[in-house]
Amino acid sequence: MTEPLKLGVAGLGTVGAGLVRLLETHGSRLSALSRPIRIVAVSARSRSKNRGFDTDQFRWFDDPVRLAADPEIDVFVELIGGDEGPAREAVETALRGGKHVVTANKALLAKHGIALAALAEDNGVALNFEAAVAGGIPVIKALREALLPNSITRVYGILNGTCNYILTTMQEEGRSFEEVLKEAQERGYAEADPTFDIGGFDTAHKLSLLTSLAFGTKVAFEQVHVEGIEKISQADIEAADDLGYRIKLLGVAMRTPSGIEARVHPAMVPKHSAIAEVSGVTNCVAIDGDFTGNMLLVGPGAGAHPTAAAVASDIIDLARGLVLAPFIIPSGELKPHQRARLGEHQGAYYLRLSVVDAPGSMAVVAKRMGDAGVSLESVVQRRERHALPGTSKADPTTPAQITLITHETTENAIREALAALESDDRVTEPPQMIRIEKL
């Protein structure tokens, strides 16, 4: 009989417990494909917690680092989380001990991915992390294997389910950001402190890993330009709809003449596109290659079962003997991430301005744009005014809303125009700017 592949699983939260259930359900079928796959030892904070299965069937370790050092295991599965502390220490211990590592820990990889990859390569073992990006979507396999024949020009996607849920719900139900966020927190779709998700940082972690795989560069989370969705208002959602767009929080990495543009920000995508229909907590990743063309992968970006399935797929690869360099090429050969100047970003822009509703306001706006060298594709001025209190008469002091879509221009030109507009007395609120992503 073939020697089994012996797993040590650290962390029995939702994903860890999901992996145990998955192997209970499908373990014998998967074991028959190449060699038996068996969890032999586990580690978690509480041994007594009811998880729906008996932890006594596995050897127990209170300390994940001791589990990582256990000579009996072939693969250390890290589902603890956190970019330092026991997760990092245990992963390093496992790799140094010549054990393969499978992890779902994007924060750890965004911070220490290259050092850990080097450690894995030095010890001739794998560092697999399919579950770390876009949950159940096999995007790491796509980049490491299936799409290798391409020179990749851009990789981008909806990588955070919380943000996509909030934006989709605002769109579908016409409700405010604050209201939808509060509801998402009550339902457990958003954290009590939602900054990490809605501020775009979770997306940036994932994007930094995709960037490295797509462009052969060192992971450089700190080089990602990050904006969140906090400032997206119902007025923007509605204006986008009128203009034929949907607003999504995208992570985008692309090659440009001045380097790699890696950015996370709300973006408009055409309403009639598959990516616009990626709704709720679903994620997607698009990959543009010179030979394959444009690929889009859509699926569950989180959740115990999809994430456990991604972890299991990494384990199956190891059972089949497939050990690849974590970032495709040896970590020492990865190039430094040369950051593109965002000011040179080329694209179309949406702007929403509140202006004093008086003759000449539109002319001022048009002039400011023209002075900055920005030409306009469409301009909509909304004429609705609020009523004066206690009357049905329009209040002449209500600002008018102007929404603009520019032709393709540069970020520098837009910033120049915005600075000029902000300093103008006729503009009553800080202007809103949203980039339009060309699909």
* 130 contributes a contact to a copy of itself by CB under 8 A: yes
* 438 contributes a contact to a copy of itself by CB under 8 A: no
* 297 contributes a contact to a copy of itself by CB under 8 A: yes
Least separation in angstroms between residue 270's CB and a copy of itself is 9
| 4 token code pair | 């089994």
Q: Which is nearer to a copy of itself, 15 or 413 (by Cβ)?
A: 15
Q: Could you tell me the CA-to-CA distances from 407 to 248, 256, 411, 436 in Å, in that order?
A: 20, 19, 12, 10
- Mark the segment that binds a copy of itself (CB under 8 A) among 185-193, 205-213, 315-323, 407-415: 315-323
Q: Which is nearer to a copy of itself, 163 or 309 (by Cβ)?
A: 309
Listed in sequence order, the residues at least 6 apart from 218 whose beta carbon sits closer than 8 Å to its beta carbon are 114, 212, 331, 334, 335, 336, 337
* 20 contributes a contact to a copy of itself by CB under 8 A: no
- Rounded Cα–Cα distance for residues 267 and 221 (Å): 20
Which residue shows structure tokens 């949907």?
246
In a 13 Å sphere around the CA of 238, the CA atoms on its Cβ side amount to 12
How many whole angstroms from its chain centre is CA 317?
24
Least separation in angstroms between residue 189's CB and a copy of itself is 16
- Stated as kind and residue range, the H or E segment containing 14 is helix 14-33
Q: Which is nearer to a copy of itself, 137 or 204 (by Cβ)?
A: 137
Q: Are 326 and 130 in contact (CB under 8 A)?
A: no
Q: Which is nearer to a copy of itself, 321 or 332 (by Cβ)?
A: 321
Q: Are 260 and 427 in contact (CB under 8 A)?
A: no
- Mark the segment that binds a copy of itself (CB under 8 A) among 53-61, 82-90, 306-314, 379-387: 306-314
| 37 token code pair | 């796959």
Select the residue interacting with a copy of itself from 46, 72, 146, 173 (CB under 8 A).
146
Q: Could you tell me the CA-to-CA distances from 311 to 40, 131, 375, 378, 435 in Å, in that order?
A: 16, 6, 49, 47, 35
- Mark the segment that binds a copy of itself (CB under 8 A) among 177-185, 259-267, 303-311, 411-419: 303-311
Listed in sequence order, the residues at least 6 apart from 410 whose beta carbon sits closer than 8 Å to its beta carbon are 343, 344, 345, 346
* 134 contributes a contact to a copy of itself by CB under 8 A: no
* 276 contributes a contact to a copy of itself by CB under 8 A: yes
Q: Which of 206, 248, 335, 367 is catalytic?
A: 206
* 28 contributes a contact to a copy of itself by CB under 8 A: no
393 among known catalytic residues = no
DSSP structure class, residue 57:
G
Least separation in angstroms between residue 279's CB and a copy of itself is 8
* 153 contributes a contact to a copy of itself by CB under 8 A: no
* 141 contributes a contact to a copy of itself by CB under 8 A: yes
Interacting residue ranges for a copy of itself, rule: CB under 8 A: 18, 22, 25-26, 30, 32-33, 130, 136-138, 141-142, 145-151, 272-278, 284, 289-300, 303, 305-306, 308-310, 312-313, 316-317, 320-322, 324, 328-329
Question: Which positions are catalytic?
Answer: 206
